[in-house]
Amino acid sequence: MKDKLALTGNEAVAHAMRQINPDVVAAYPITPQTEIVMAFSQFVADGLVDTETIPVESEHSAMSACVGASASGARAMTATCSQGLALMWEIVYIASAMRLPIVMAVVNRALSAPINIHCDHSDSMGARDSGWIQIYCETGQEAYESVLLAMKIAEDENILLPVMVCLDGFITSHAVERIELLEDKVVKDWVGERKAKYSLLNVENPVTYGPLDLQDYYFEHKRQEAEAMRNAYSAIPKVVDRFKNLVGKRYDYLEEYKMEGAEFAVLALSSTCGTARATVDRLRANGVKAGMVKLRFLRPFPAREVVSALSKAKAVAILDRSDTFSNQGGPVFNEIRSAFYEERNKPFIVNYVYGLGGRDIIVEEIEKVYSDLRNILKQKKVETLVNYLGVRE
Amino acid sequence: MKEKGWKDIPIAGLIVEAGNAEQYETGSWRTFKPVRDVEKCTNCLNCWINCPDSSILVSEEKMVGFDYDHCKGCGICAEICPVKCIEMVKE
C-alpha cells in the first residue's frame, strides 16, 4: 500500500532521501532548497535514518565532503541551487571526473545579479557540461521518484556518474501536492547497498584518488569520461525499465503529448510542461493541431529521441528558462538545433527565452507561441529566431 | 614504458596499485649525480636520513651506493655529508 501525503516538492525530495538512507549527507541551506535540508535534518534528529550529516560552512565544502565520502565508498547525497551551485562549481567537475555516484537535488533558481530567489534554469544549465547527468522534473511526485531513479543510475557500474535532479524553485519546491510514496522497504530493496569498486577505506586494496595527471594521460581520462556519458545513454533505459515495475510509469528521456498528427509543437522542461499541456488541450479543442514534448534528461542529451519526436511537427518552438547571452538563444535550443543539422526534412525551429527570475508563464503566452508557429508555417520563413516571451518592451 | 590507450587504464585517473611510484624512474630528471669516495666515507648514514627520495642504498648498516633510477640529483647528501665524501658530478 502506497502512502499518500500532502507534501511540498522539497519535502518529497527529503522523503526520497530518508528512504534511500544514504551514509552521508553534506549540505548547506539556500532558498528555495532550504526545506530539503530542514526536513532531512528532522529525519536524522528523529532517528529515522542512519545518515551522518555534515552541517558544512559552504556549498564548496558540501560537495567536497560528498566527494570524500563517495570516494571512500559511502553513498553520499546533497542539495543546492543558484549561488550555492555556483560556489561549489570546481568540486562539481571533480565529482564527475572522479566518477563518484553522488545524487544532488538542484532546486532551480535564478543567478545573481540582480539578486533573485525565484525559478529559472540558469544555475543547472551552467552545469550542463560538467559531466553530470541531469534530470528535470515537472512535479513534486516526479522529483521524489527521480531521486530514487537517479541513485540507481548514478551507481550503475556501466555509468558511475553523479546525477542532478532538478525541480523548479518555489513552483515545484514549495507547492503542496498529493504525493504517493513507495513503501520504505520497497525503496530499500530498490537501492540496495552501494558496492564501490574502489574505496579509500579499503585497506586490503588501497587506491589513490585525484593524483596529478599531465600531458601523458589527462586526455585519455577525459576520453573515458565522454565514454561514460555515452554508456549512460545506453544504460539508462535499462534502469528505467526496472524502475517501471516500482512506480508503474516509464521515466523515458522525453515524453510526447498529443504529438500524433501535430503540426505545431512546443518543447519545454520541468513545471512549464504542465502549462504547455493545458495549452495543447485548449488548442486541440479548437481544432489546432498542437502537440508538446517534455524533455526529462538534458544529460545525456537524447538527440535521437528529440529529433524523432519533434520531426512529427512542421514548426517547433523550444522554450528555454535561461539564456546563454551568446546571441544564439537558450541552451536547450542550441542543442536541439544542432541535433537537427543532419536531418533532411526538418521542421522550422525557433526559440523562446521565458520565465527568468521566476516570471510566471501562462497559457495565453504559450498560445501566442503556437500562433507564431502557425504564421511561420504560413509564410514559410522564420523572422525572429530567438524571442523573449513575457518580457515588457 | 609504452603509454596505454584510454580503454586500458583505470577510470578517473585512479592509482589502483599501492607503492607503484617505484616504477616511475625519476633518475632521468638529474643533471648532477652524487659520487662517493668510499675511502673517506665513515658510514654515518646522515645521507640516508636526509635523502628526500630514499635513494641511498644501505646494507648491514653500511652505505653501499645510490639508487640512480630514482635519485633526482638534488645534492642534499653532498651538502649534509660531514666528511665531504660525496661529490656532485655532471651527468
What does A340-372 look like in DSSP terms, one character per residue?
Answer: TTT-SSPPEEEEEEE-GGG----HHHHHHHHHH
Residue in A38, A22, A36, A131 with CA at minimum distance from that of residue A80: A36
pLDDT in tens, A354-365: 999 999 999 999
Cβ of residue B21 closer than 8 Å to a chain A Cβ: no
Q: Closest approach of chain A CAs to the CA of B55, in angstroms?
A: 22
- Position B1 scores a pLDDT of 66
Mutation site for B-interface testing, chosen from A161, A199, A217 by largest number of B Cβ within 10 Å: A217
Q: Which residues on adjacent β-strands are paired with residue A53?
A: A25
Strand boundaries in B1-91, DSSP class E: 32-36, 56-59, 62-66, 86-90
Q: Hey, how many other C-beta atoms are within 10 angstroms of the C-beta on B18?
A: 11
Sequence ranges of the domains in chain B = 35-91
CATH number given to A254-389: 3.40.50.920
Fold for the domain defined by B35-91? Alpha-Beta Plaits (3.30.70)
Q: Rounded to whole angstroms, how far apart are CA atoms A363 and A276?
A: 7
B13 touches chain A (CB under 8 A): yes
Can you tell me the distance from the alpha carbon of A162 to that of A232, in angstroms, rounded to the nearest whole number?
Answer: 11
Which residue of chain B has the CA closest to A228? Answer: B11
Which residues, 6+ apart, have CB-to-CB distance to A386 below 8 Å? A327, A328, A329, A330, A333, A350, A351, A353
Where in chain A do CATH 3.40.50.970 domains reside? 3-247
Nearest to A138 by CA among A295, A243, A308, A282: A295
> Among candidates A23, A35, A89, A31, which has minimal Cα distance to A62?
A89
CA B13 to chain centre: 25
Q: Residue A191: which residues within 8 A CB-CB, separation 6 or more?
A: A20, A75, A148, A151, A152
Q: Which of A93, A98, A203, A207 to mutate to test the interface with B (most CBs of B within 10 A)?
A: A207
Whether the per-residue pLDDT at B12 is higher than 90: the answer is yes
User: Which CATH number applies to A3-247?
Assistant: 3.40.50.970
How confident is the prediction for chain A on average, in pLDDT? 97
Using a pLDDT cut of 90, give the percent of chain A over it. 99
Q: pLDDT, tens digit, for every residue of B18-72?
A: 888 888 899 999 999 999 999 999 999 999 999 999 999 999 999 999 999 999 9
- pLDDT tens profile A279-311: 999 999 999 999 999 999 999 999 999 999 999
Q: B11 to chain A: which residues are within 8 Å by CB?
A: 99, 160, 221, 224, 228
Residue A367 pLDDT greater than 70, yes or no: yes
Matching residue, cell 646522515: B46
Q: Which residue of B has its CA nearest to A224?
A: B6
Residue of A nearest to B18 (CA): A206
Asked if residue A119 has pLDDT above 70, the reply is yes
Verify whether the Cβ–Cβ distance B16 to A227 is below 8 Å. no
Write down the pLDDT at residue B18. 87
**DSSP letters of A139-193?**
SHHHHHHHHHHHHHHHH-TTT---EEEEEETTTTTTSEEEEEEPPHHHHHHHH--
